[in-house]
Amino acid sequence: MPETPTQDALKQEEPGQDARQAPLILTLEFDADTFARFDGLRRRHFPKALNRIPAHATLFHNLPGAAEAGVRETIAMLARTVPAPEVAVTGLRFTGRGVAYVLDSEPLSAFRARLAKTFDAHLTAQDKQGWRPHVTVQNKVDPDTARALHAALADDFAPFRFTAPATRLWRYLGGPWAERARFAFGENA
């Protein structure tokens, strides 16, 4: 029987010289129950050949890999001052070729906005545009397949909340990600 992935299941190796230039990705960590729920849906509905990473919510897609030490320091300092944010799961989004759960959290949005202001000179267009937090459970499928899943999930959907314990920093390695750091919220809040 295949092993169930966890939030720690991504590649955990030290990058080589070339990989140190690769972008960094900042994601939100879920509590265990929320992660199990989202990752179970992702494993069931995401195309298996394309599902290389567990369920996640991305805060930044491309922070400067060459400046990893400074990126880590900045995120760690800010995360320590912010209480663990409560996040509302408010609905579903049909993305055309997939389905995502919509997230809403004013404290999390404020945290991300402060980081965006700090990293502004280094952000890509994707990370500068309006942030719409979500968890993708299906992507890159036929639109009719996505529409059917959206309808099925919407029929049973009930809003819920979770408290996010931390953020995680990853290095993009051309498909898999390598975890670089975890930053707990509220250690000094």
The structure's pTM equals: 0.88
Share of the chain above pLDDT 90, in %: 83
Fold annotation for 22-184: Cyclic Phosphodiesterase; Chain: A, (3.90.1140)
Average pLDDT, the chain: 90
> To the nearest whole percent, how much of the chain has pLDDT over 70?
89
CA dihedral 124, 163, 114, 122 (to 10 degrees): -20
Those residues whose C-beta lies under 8 Å from the C-beta of residue 124, and which sit 6 or more positions away, are 61, 62
What average pLDDT score do residues 103-125 get? 97
- pLDDT tens track for 154-168: 999 999 999 999 999
What's the pLDDT score for residue 189?
A: 54
- pLDDT (average), residues 5-13: 41
Question: What pLDDT, in 10s, does the model give residues 23-66?
Answer: 999 999 999 999 999 999 999 999 999 988 999 999 999 999 99
